[in-house]
Structure 1
Amino acid sequence: MPSGFLRHIKRCNSHDMAGFRPFRVESHLVGWIRPAFRDRLLSFPDVFRPEGEGVGLSPALDQPDQRSEAVGSVLKHLVVDGVIPRLRREMYGVQTGWGTAPLLAMDRAAIPFFGVTAYGVHINGFVRRADGIHLWVGKRAMDRGVAPGQYDNLVAGGQPLGLSLQENLLKEAREEADLPPDLALQARPVGAITYVMEQKKGLKPDVLFIYDLELPADFIPRNTDGEVERFELWPLEKVAASIAQTDDWKFNVNLVVIDFLVRHGWLGPDHPEYLDLCRGLRR
């Protein structure tokens, strides 16, 4: 098995844009779709129309709620036809950029098929001990659809429409680690990580908002939503060795932990991959 940290960043930024076509709303480029999926969408002419090599929405759908309803109806047909998996009943915003008004809402399950930018929050929960920093690591349940049995952050979740980042952080912290609000609010924003990854479903241009949370030595996280099987507290040396030498972590969590190792001085400028890691975390 290849070793090193940089391979994880390369994996999360592996894509060939020649295999995708633009998806536009109101002439705004908001996503990228595969040609076969474009053809399938164009079989719903009341909702989708060709725009050059890509696809756009019918101009009759000129309001966000109209677009959301019309696209949602198409998605239900695509689920029945087996084109996309079952819907998640969690809505994401389709936007021109972070902080802009959503042009429509789309079910989370469909986001990668449309190559729309998705946002999420990740919390590094750590403890300072006499022998150094220790990081809380979650072991994902085996019934998860994504990365079953792999390692995860203390808290991580997608950013749904209708919640602020803080509201989502509090929700995810309670569900995933049973963090009380007063403790979760001590999480400190420390930046964002970006990547563009090609998967079988489509393109994942993701943005992860990263938080560090220093926890009391006597706090024990407890999962309440079934996503995590157990939590373990690891010294940074063990964390770093696992990231560098195995593929045991959820693909994007590798990047979050590498960023933590860099910011906390465990990975320093003397490491041969250091500059490439710093650049690669924010493409």
Structure 2
Amino acid sequence: MASVGELLAALKREANQTPPEGSRVLSICGLTCGTLVPHAYEVLRSPTFYDVFEQTDKGLELSYGGNQGAHDLADLAEQLHEGRLISQWRNELLDVVPLDFSHTVTKAERGVFRFLGLSTTCVHALATDDSGRFWIARRSETKQVDPGFWDTLSGGLMSAGETLKDTLARETFEEAGLMPDQYSQIAPPITFLVTRPVRDGWMRERTVAFPVKLKSDAIPTNRDGEVAHFEAVKKSEVLHRIEQKRFTLGAALAFLYAFQAETSV
């Protein structure tokens, strides 16, 4: 079996890519917020969207943030959805942030984030039991992304207005049926960035993984239909399934960075 370092090095090459040649910058209120791959850039610079964006020397600019920016992006999302230019419509708002994730510039429909190359934040629970086994979840076959792959106990994108802990609590309840008093954080969160091309355009995602320990009587039970079943497995089995590419990229990286942190203490 490959070592943690070898597995991590291989996955980092997949997770840390540079935008394709010809990509342009999406700015909002003078702040760089997104990466437009060539196809997205050509769509958005067409006459259809002249009233939304201004051309700049680096790409395109949306002049308004706040409520006006949210209104403009909502209209844009509907047009892209109607034109079948985005593959998902989630009816869920996410915060639009600059590259350093420092503050919220405006909000937008989740389905438009990859097309515009906007940054997202995904929060995971890396959960262990009393025996040190790791709770993992097999994604439902009906999931649009990575159906049937193994994942962390819970994980999902941070919705508009949420804190990291809010997202951890919501996702862990929805996906594993557990309340915050049924687990406790046992180490600092692991944070890393993933940048890579995806179906709709460009993914730039900050992942924050919280190592937690479940109470002895806490048994995960899915509530939202997104998990087929749960297993509690040893670290060696997690590594085996990562090597077999049976985990999602984000979950595999979260586990490997956590294992690397253990050995560096």
1:34-45, aligned counterparts within 5 Å? 34-42=37-45, 43-45=48-50
Matches within 5 A, 1:130-279: 133-184=132-183, 186=185, 188-244=187-243, 246-265=244-263
TM-score (norm 2): 0.90
CA distance in 2, matches of 1:112, 1:187: 33
Contact 1:169/1:184 (8 A) holds in 2: no
CA contact (8 A) 2:85 2:200 kept: no
Q: Unpaired runs of 5+ in structure 2?
A: none
- Distance in 2 separating the partners of 1:94 and 1:128: 39
**1:85-164 superposed matches below 5 A:** 85-96=87-98, 97-100=100-103, 102-129=104-131, 133-164=132-163
- 1:137 and 1:239 map into 2 onto residues whose CA distance is 9
The TM-score normalised by the length of structure 1 is: 0.85
Count residues with an aligned counterpart: 258
Cα offset, 1:39, TM superposition: 2.4
Runs of 4+ in 1 over 6 A off after TM superposition: none
- Indicate how the Cα distance of structure 1 residues 136 and 226 shifts in structure 2: closer, same or farther if over 3 A, else same: same
Structure 1 unaligned blocks of 5 or more: 270-283
The 3 A distance-change label for structure 1 pair 213 and 67 is: same
1:264 alignment partner, SS class: helix
Deviation at 1:165, TM superposition (A): 1.7
Maintained 8 Å contact 1:124/1:213: yes
Counterpart residue number, 1:275: none
Q: Contact (CA 8 Å) 2:140, 2:226: kept in 1 or not?
A: yes
Could you tell which deviates more after superposition, 72-81 or 85-94? 85-94
Cα distance in 2 between the residues matched to 1:112 and 1:94: 12
Instruction: Decide whether the 8 Å contact of 1:170 with 1:184 is kept in 2.
Output: no
Deviation at 1:17, TM superposition (A): 4.1
Report SS of the residue matched to 1:18: coil
Q: RMSD in angstroms over aligned alpha carbons?
A: 2.1
Identity of matched residues, %? 23
